[in-house]
Amino acid sequence: MIDTGQYGKMLKHLKIRKELFWDIDPAKLDEEKNKRLIIERVFTRGDLPELKELIQYYGLHTIKREIVKAGSLDKKTLKWVSDFLGISVTKFTCYTKKQSNQVHWNY
């Protein structure tokens, strides 16, 4: 029997903290069906061992394909992911979506 420790039993193959998915029923999280969400959460809230785990499991090709479709990444994460993966920020959905939202008042 494998001791999953802090990672819980929500993911079958990935050792990622369950706290990254505070808003989701862990029993419903699937590594293939929810890979974009998993990749997005690890990049925005995960640590280095979780990032390494993600790269080992999905591979850079899949990560690149999914992360550019992420619905929201904060500015720092977007810049870091862009530099780390060698993808222009303009290729990210969250960047183009943010640019299309007009802000009337900038406080």
* Reported confidence tier of residue 8, pLDDT bands at 50, 70, 90: very low
DSSP 24: S
- Residues 26, 7: Cα–Cα separation, whole Å: 11
The radius of gyration of the chain's CA atoms, rounded to the nearest angstrom, is 15
User: Residue 12: is its pLDDT beyond 90?
Assistant: no
CA 5 to chain centre: 22
Q: Where are the alpha helices (DSSP H) in 7-74?
A: 35-45, 48-58, 60-67
Contact 56, 33 (CB under 8 A): no
What's residue 68's pLDDT?
95
User: Residue 15: is its pLDDT beyond 80?
Assistant: yes
Full-prediction pTM beyond 0.85? Answer: no
Q: pLDDT digits over 30-64, tens only?
A: 999 999 999 999 999 999 999 999 999 999 999 99
Q: Is 105 helix (H, G, I), strand (E, B) or coil?
A: coil
Rounded mean pLDDT of 91-96?
Answer: 86
Q: pLDDT digits over 70-89, tens only?
A: 988 999 999 999 999 999 99
